[in-house]
Every structure is written in C-alpha cells, then in structure tokens.
Amino acid sequence: MPELSEALKKLKASSTVAFNTKAKELQRSGVDVVAMTAGEPDFAPPEHVLAAAHEAIDKGLTKYTPAEGTAELREAVCEKFRRENGLSYTPAQISVGTGGKQVLYNGFMAVLNPGDEVIVPAPYWVSYPAQVQLAGGVTVAVPTRPEDGFVPSVEAVREAITPRTKVIVLNSPSNPTGAVYPPEVVRGIAELAAEHDLWLFSDDLYEHLVYEGEFVSGAAFAPEHTLIIHGASKAYALTGWRIGYGAGPERLIKAMSKLQGQVTSNANAIAQYAVTAALNEVEKTAAFIAMTKRAYVARRDRLVEGLNRLGLHTPKPQGAFYVMSDLTPIHPDETEAATLLLEKAHVAVVPGTDFEAPGQARFSYATSMENIEKALERLGAFVGASV
Ligand SMILES: Cc1ncc(COP(=O)(O)O)c(C=O)c1O
C-alpha cells in the first residue's frame, strides 16, 4: 500500500474519543457503563432554535452561503459581542466555521510558520497541540497546579515567551479543568501578548457556563492582537450542528476565510440560520442558558463533594462542565486508573495523559444527576474495595 504522510503518521488520535469508543464497545457488549467522557451538553437544543432550523428548510435556505458565513449570522455575532461583552466588531471581522474547532484550526494555519511556538497553559484541551503540530508549530506548555485552581500565573507565561513565540492560547472557562481565570490574570496575559506583539487566541467557547467568578475575554484588553474563538456548541447545546465563529482583526479574519473557502467553504446553511435565531432571540436563549446552568451547578456540587469524600482529591471549578480528579489513590498511572474504573466500576472518564495532567482524569458532568449518583455509588464500592 502507498505510504501516508509523515504529518498524519505523527498526529495523535483524540484520547477523549478513544475512551468514549472503549465505553461504547463495553455498552454494546451489554455492560451498563456510566459515561462521563463526553464534552457535550446532554440537553436538547432550545425549542426556538429547532423551529428556526425547520423554517430554514421550509424557506429553501439550503444553498451555499458565503464562505465566511451569512451576513445575518455575522451581524448577529457582532451584536452578541456588543451586548454581552462590550466589544465592537464589524461583520468583516467575523468568520463562521464548522465549529469552534475549525475556526481555531483556520487561526493556527493563518499565523504559524514552521517552528513557531504556541504557549498553552496545561492541563489543556487535546486539540490545541494536535492543531499546532499540523500547522507546523510547536506547543510550549505552561503547567498550572490544582492548588492554584489550575489558573496560570502571568509570570510563568512571561517566562515561557521566546523569540519564536507567535501565539498565546487562553481558554477560560477551561476544558479540561473548568478553571475561570480572574480578570486580572486575563488582563495580564493579554497585555503580555500586546507588549511582545503576539497573537492571543482567546478560546471563549464556555463563556456562558460560568457559575462563580466573572467571565472576561482576552479581547477586552488586547483587541488588535486577539482572535476570539467562539461558537454555539456548548451554550446552546448545538454540538452536532457545527457552528463556530471567530472574531478578530480584519486581516487575520480574511486570511482564515480564504483558507476555509478552499477547504470546506461555508458551514452548514440551515445551522447558520438556526444559530442566528439563537443569538437574536435573546430572552428565550437566556432562559435556556439559565436552566442549564442551574442543573450544571447542582451536578458539579454533588460530583465534587462525592469524589472528595471518596478520597479522590477534586478542586471545585467555577465553570464549564468538567472536573479534574486525582486518581493516584487508585493507581499512580492515570491511564491504568481510568482503565480500572472503566473495566471494574463501569464508569468511563478521560485519563489526563493527553491533557498533560499526570495522575488525574477528567470527569464530565454534562450528564444526568441520576448518572452522577450511579457513578459515585460504583466508585465508592470500587475504591472501598481496592484502596
Ligand atoms: C476548549 C474547547 N474549545 C473549542 C471547542 C470546539 O467546539 P466546537 O467545535 O463544537 O465548536 C471545544 C469542544 O470540545 C473545547 O472544549
């Protein structure tokens, strides 16, 4: 068989997907597995968004749109940033993609040359290093600690800057830690980017899932240097609809849209129409978000309390729908520990290996309270028997 490319041979498959697949295989073989691996809301999308999708089909809005997104959606995104964040963008500064993931990839492809460095606080979302690698860059991790709530120090980020640094990634609330960075940390990191003339990629996907503390985008402090990566997946429970948006300086956005125009063209037209409704029907969408937040807070509190009671140290995060838990009482190696949990307790979590979180695992609480109770009960029985 002919050879594959070196770039693809080096690319790692997502560990989140790998453990999800393992859990699904067990489920198919008849085992009742509590899956706490997924990074997606378990809620159905809001009714008014579903209605808008039907309307798009009925109106025949099913053709190609401009690669960068419909004018209506880009206007609605500008309005969202003005209303919710006090940020001023024009539609020419917005690029709509197939999920925040594509927007992020477009961004890395648009700014990185071979060997350029990208600073990323760790534990980090697994797609950052993978995308950086594909774009020819090198990830430089800045470790954070559970005792600091996984918030990086501005000083540590400053020390990681070298003449090769091109981008700093900021992700608050964070996947996988749930950390919400205090405004002064966001400001400090954004000012570093401006001072050293670096790009700041502010991954704001989890903006609406902040339970304590205050959300602020890096763009508030360094707008000329910032690409916001945002989207509809997490806040509106629209993961499969694949709509993300980037906001930033026009020159960067143009380059990203040019790339997307040659690779995938526009994001799904029907989903663009529906997300326009999610952004414009402000009150209905706010009520949906408030309902999901109440549920997430109750689930987080129960999960964190339960895991700590079992002796698995778990800081209480302020946002997103993940917790990082110390699995070393089960096994010093996190992959072994997660495998034991899956095979013996039938609870699926993602080991921290690919997040650069040794000894830890990510539990997603985007699942029902009933599942959380079931998982804690099983973990209790397992930990009680083995520690
Ligand atoms: C930190 C972070 N950024 C971006 C994304 C991309 O989400 P989507 O492509 O569904 O918009 C995710 C999804 O898991 C994420 O966790």
- Is pLDDT above 80 for 170? yes
Structural domains in the chain, CATH included, are 6-44+285-386 (3.90.1150.10), 58-281 (3.40.640.10)
Mutation to probe ligand 1, out of 101, 180, 239, 355 (largest number of atoms < 8 A from CB): 101
Q: Determine the angle formed by the axes of helices 250-263 and 99-111, rounding to 10 degrees.
A: 110
Cis preceding-peptide flag for 176 (omega within 30 of 0): yes
Residue 38 is predicted with a pLDDT of 85
- Mutate which of 17, 106, 127 for ligand 1? The one with the most ligand atoms within 8 Å of its CB, which is 127
Using the CB atoms, write b or e for 6-29: b if 16+ within 10 Å: eeeeeeeeebbeebbebbeebeee
Asked, as a colleague might, if the bond just before 183 is cis with ω within 30 of 0, I would say: no
> Up-side HSE of residue 71: CA atoms within 13 Å toward CB?
0
Give the Cα separation of 36 and 314 in Å (integer).
15
- Pocket-forming residues, ligand 1, beta carbon under 6 Å: 39, 99-101, 125, 171, 175, 203, 205, 231, 233, 239, 244
Report residue 160's pLDDT band, with 50, 70 and 90 as the boundaries: very high
CA of 149 to the centre of ligand 1 (A): 21
List Cβ neighbours of 109 (8 Å cut-off, separation of 6 or more): 134, 135, 256, 259
For 288-326, the pLDDT digits (tens) are: 999 999 999 999 999 999 999 999 999 999 999 999 999
Give, using CA atoms, the residue closest to atom 14 of ligand 1: 39
Residue nearest atom 13 in ligand 1 by C-alpha distance: 39
Q: Could you report the per-residue pLDDT of 82-140, keeping only the tens digit for each? A: 999 999 999 999 999 999 999 999 999 999 999 999 999 999 999 999 999 999 999 99
pLDDT value of position 385: 57
Atom of ligand 1 nearest to the CA of 231: 11
Please state the rounded mean pLDDT for residues 135-154. 96
Q: How confident is the model at residue 171 (pLDDT cuts 50, 70, 90)?
A: very high
AA identity, residue 105: Y
Given a cut of 50, whether residue 387 has pLDDT beyond it is no
Q: Residue 335, Cβ neighbours under 10 Å: how many?
A: 17
- Which of the four pLDDT bands, split at 50, 70 and 90, describes residue 17? confident
- The type of residue at 75 is E
Sign of CA dihedral 163, 114, 174, 186: positive
State the chain's mean pLDDT as an integer.
96
* 121's tokens: 């606080």
pLDDT tens sequence across 221-231: 999 999 999 99
Strands (E), the chain: 34-35, 94-97, 117-122, 138-143, 165-170, 199-203, 226-231, 244-247, 322-326, 347-348, 350-351, 360-364
CA distance 39 to 348: 13
Candidate of 233, 238, 364 to mutate for ligand 1, largest count of ligand atoms within 8 Å of Cβ: 233
d(CA 371, CA 347): 10
DSSP state of 211: S
CA of 122 to the centre of ligand 1 (A): 16
Give the pLDDT of residue 20: 81
Residue whose tokens read 């003339």: 197
